[in-house]
Homo-oligomer: A and B are copies of this chain.
Amino acid sequence: MANKIKFERESVVRLASQLFWQKGFHATSTRDLQEAINMRPGSIYSAFGSKEGLYSESLKDYTLQMKAQIEGFLSNTDTVLEGLRAFVENVIIETKDCSPSAICMLVKANSEFAEKDANLYELSLNLAAQFEAYLTQLFEQAINNGELNSTMTALEYARFFQVQFTGLRGYFNRPGVTQLAQPMIEQMFLLIKKL
């Protein structure tokens, strides 16, 4: 007893996510979004409530996709560390040119939303905490597998990984340093094993 929704929510969110990731929340206008996702204001606002609502869903989808990507690499490698390394290399080297930004969308979000009580700031914190917990699980596996010694806890390894990964992505945001990526990722994983 109705008309049917003409858009596929998943692919729309993914398109919005790309634009938000590239330009940031404030620099992306609702007109930009309309064009990118090919929807008119009325449809957008009935589906997502607000620009903030669409961004919120985009950011959540981004972290899910990132996790799914890691899972994919893990299932193709023998060890956790090999999987993580394949993931890191994929993000920083292989998909660099087709990615909306070199910098993690979560990190961008956390950096953009300064007001400590804002919804999107809280969201970015929660998603980051969630992702850290996920990474911690992975490093627990790595320790149990004997890939890493237990001089550091899984959480400490996860923290170290995040710092390195974020730092590297930030550095490779600038152009003309691509050839440095491989050795610096090599160094990163050497350090993890030697900690």
Contacts and interface: CB of A to CB of B under 8 A. Distances in A.
Interface of A: 22-24, 26-27, 100-101, 103, 107-108, 110-112, 114, 116, 125, 128-129, 159-160, 162-168, 170-171, 173-175, 180, 184, 187, 191
Contact of A114 (B24, B107, B110): B24
B173 A163 contact: no
Contact of A163 (B24, B159, B171): B171
Tally of this chain's copies: 2
Contact of A170 (B27, B101, B112, B163): B163
Nearest to A108: B111
Contacts of A108: 111
B114 A112 contact: no
A9 B67 CA distance: 48
B173 A23 contact: no
Given A26-B24, A111-B111, A114-B23, A166 B171 contact: yes
A168 B173 contact: no
A178 to B, nearest CB: 13
A159 B125 CA distance: 28
Contacts of A171: 159, 162-163, 166
User: Which of A22, A101, A171, A180 is most buried by chain B, counting CB atoms within 10 A of its CB?
Assistant: A171
B174 A166 contact: no
Given A110-B173, A111-B173, A129-B174, 4 more contacts: A111-B170, A125-B174, A165-B167, A166-B171
